[in-house]
Amino acid sequence: MQILDKFPIEGGQKDPKKRIIPFLPGKILFRRSHVRDVAMKRLRFIDDYCRALVRLPPQISQSEEVLRFFETKAEDVHPPVE
């Protein structure tokens, strides 16, 4: 949401026809036994979203908000053990 807040015109808040920022893929509800299957199905949509995001004009694709979106977090490297 921070990206859309910073770039309301490009996010289509004033005119949906002028939106250039891609829609973030929605969450999929799943049962615990199918976590991996759901993750694999979402992978393509998330990959497409990320590729579209970095193809945006530099004032968006190189903004602090987009760079922060791609930052590696500790839990990305060392996921919590269940």
* pTM listed for this prediction: 0.74
The pair of three-digit structure tokens given for residue 10, joined into one six-digit string: 């490009």
For the domain bounded by 2-69, which CATH number is listed? 3.30.1520.10
Residue 52 phi/psi, 5-degree rounding, is: -65, -35
CA distance linking residue 76 with residue 74, whole number of Å: 5
Q: What's residue 29's pLDDT?
A: 58
Q: For the chain, what are the domain ranges?
A: 2-69
The vertex-51 CA angle with 27 and 30, nearest 5°, equals 15
Q: pLDDT, tens digit, for every residue of 2-61? A: 899 999 999 999 999 999 999 988 776 555 556 777 777 788 899 999 999 999 999 999
